Amino acid sequence: MDNPANEEPSADGDVFGLRGKVMLVVGGGAAGDGIGNGRAAAILLARAGAEVMVVDRKLDLAETTARMIRAGRGRASTFAADVTDEDACRDMVAATVDACGRLDGLVNNVGIGSRGSVVASSLSDWQRVMRINVETMFLASKFAIPAMIDSGDGGAIVNISSISALRPRGLTAYSTSKGAVIALTRAMAVDHGPDGIRVNCVAPGPVYTPMVHAGGMSDTAREQRRRASVLNIEGTGWDVGMTVRYLLSSQSRYVTGQTIVVDGGVSLTGPSRDSAS
């Protein structure tokens, strides 16, 4: 039997092993020309040679991301879908396979924030957070996994959680939903490892994105978040996107069921109550 330790990774210039792969990025739009987590991931995956299907509830936001990819000579298609709807998720995956011929990777990047304890939160708010932050990942994966299996080479999924799952701070419904994302990630990794499908999770800290900007964050609050990093720098969507690309690439071929925290060390220090991360 050959010793697999003697098998070196490919050195043919395809550093990430993503050339010719098809990646589905759900929540791949962002306001204006801003760089959110999903848009950054889509652009970086395309730069690595993947063909990307960019999905967003608003088609124009997905189209902006696709234009950015094409401007860099990458390949991208777009699809509008409300991924809280089961039929929309089925159609989204079918459209990807129809347009691109296969499916190799999925990024689940849809989510909303919420504040308050179980006493302060309404049942409708709790249900809405769980539906958008957790159920969308269940639905997208439900249809993406069979398509990856049909493609013949396994695949990879990355779910976006948050450090709020690991460090609760007054955002109870949000923290619970993001904790559920981590549990879902681990369960899917076990369930579908035999199919050759890896499933991992990224837990961003307080990165500055178009969603945060649209929320009206003050310069003072933004500076406070930067200073919370032990590196004394501000995180961006690019930082999350680079981690997503790694987890979808052949560089992480032996990594599954894991949660990678991308927070500049914020969670190493005392908690602070700011906007949802």
Long-range contacts of 229-233 (CB under 8 A, 24+ apart): 229/205, 229/263, 229/264, 229/265, 229/266, 230/264, 230/265, 230/266, 230/268, 230/269, 231/264, 231/265, 233/264
Q: Which residue has the tokens 């709020």?
A: 164
Report CA torsion sign: 144, 149, 155, 161.
positive
What tokens does 149 get?
């299996």
SS3 243: helix
Q: Which residues contact 254 (CB under 8 A, 6 or more apart)?
A: none
State the catalytic residue, choosing from 174, 208, 246, 254.
174
CB 83 within 8 A of CB 89: yes
The secondary structure element, H or E, covering residue 192 is: helix 172-192
Q: Which residue has the tokens 């991931």?
A: 41
Q: Which residues contact 151 (CB under 8 A, 6 or more apart)?
A: 22, 102, 103, 104
The secondary structure element, H or E, covering residue 146 is: helix 136-151
SS3 16: coil
Strand partners, 155: 197
Active site residue 174: yes
Q: Which residues are catalytic?
A: 174
